[in-house]
Amino acid sequence: MKTISVDDARAFDQYTIKEVGIPSLVLMERAALKSTENILSLKWDLQHVLIVAGSGNNGGDGLAVARLLKNKGVDAEVLLVGNPKHASIERTQQLNFAKHYGVKILDPNRIYWSKYTVIVDAIFGTGLSRDVAGNYPPIIKSINDAPAKKFSIDVPSGLNADTGKVMGTSVQADGTSTFAYAKKGMVTDNGKDYCGKLFVDDIGIYDPKTFEK
């Protein structure tokens, strides 16, 4: 299986958006469609689904998954984490789309973690750049301690996708949807353990070298 570095993943994303001209939001929708398809394919109990969405584009993916699940009649609710002032454009757009379809945005002080049957981890993806700290470790602990099945978007939040090492703490996923290519860290023993069942999704992002004229 072809594996790439986080830097490659981010460079291929930007190449697709800036050079090729496919809008970021289009890639995000494709990422969400594939992730939703993968979650449904696992045949888990979707009675109560919680999406934990960070302030960046990984969070944007998660909000799009929440909307797609809601549109399929799944009771998907969202916990927003991270500094809303740092929210990316696409994540903000996805929040508005989700609200349009009545996706419930929860009060962070009233989360009943044990209620959920599936928790979708959309806190950090390839943007993780340092050890998880601050208010994130308790959230990740609540996710890991919850009885729900866990599904991570792109990278289990807290896993270093280059080395497969845990950056302080990480979500321990039962399934992960990663985009374009598997990241090097995901095929290490530790990485495999944290990703659970790995789906590698073609969302229209490719290594430009494969198209060198």
Selection from K ion, ligand NAX, none that 24 binds (CB < 5 to 8 A by kind) is ligand NAX
Selection from K ion, ligand NAX, none that 152 binds (CB < 5 to 8 A by kind) is K ion
Site string for K ion, 94-133 (x = CB under 5 A): ---------------------------x------------
3-state secondary structure (DSSP) of residue 2: coil
Q: Which window, 94-102, 111-119, 122-130, 141-149, contacts ligand NAX (CB under 6 A)?
A: 122-130
Instruction: Please identify which residue in the block is written with the tokens 């958006």.
Output: 17
Among 35, 36, 57, 152, binds K ion (CB under 5 A): 152
Among 2, 100, 102, 129, binds ligand NAX (CB under 6 A): 129
Residues in 89-108 that interact with ligand NAX by CB under 6 A: none
Give every strand in the sheet of 149-153, ordered side by side: 104-105, 76-80, 49-53, 118-122, 149-153, 175-179, 197-201
Question: Which positions make up the binding site for K(+)?
Answer: 58, 121, 157
Contact 12, 178 (CB under 8 A): no
**Amino acid code (one letter) for 59:** G
For K ion, give the closer residue by CB, 51 or 74. 51
Residues in 169-188 that interact with ligand NAX by CB under 6 A: 179
Taking CB atoms, the residue at the shortest distance from K ion is 157
For K ion, give the closer residue by CB, 16 or 157. 157
> Concatenated DSSP letters for 162-185?
TT--BSS-----SEEEEESSEEGG
Selection from K ion, ligand NAX, none that 157 binds (CB < 5 to 8 A by kind) is K ion
Token pair for 120: 């979708």
Largest CA-CA distance found in the chain, in angstroms, rounded: 55
Measured between alpha carbons, how far is 60 from 87 in angstroms, rounded to an integer?
A: 9
Q: Which window, 68-76, 92-100, 120-128, 181-189, contacts ligand NAX (CB under 6 A)?
A: 120-128
Instruction: Please identify which residue in the block is written with the tokens 């009233």.
Output: 110
Residue 117: exposure state from Cβ atoms within 10 A (0-12, 13-18, ≥19) = middle
Verify binding: residue 61, ligand NAX, rule CB under 6 A: yes
Which spans of this chain sit near K ion (rule: CB under 5 A)?
Answer: 121, 152-153, 157
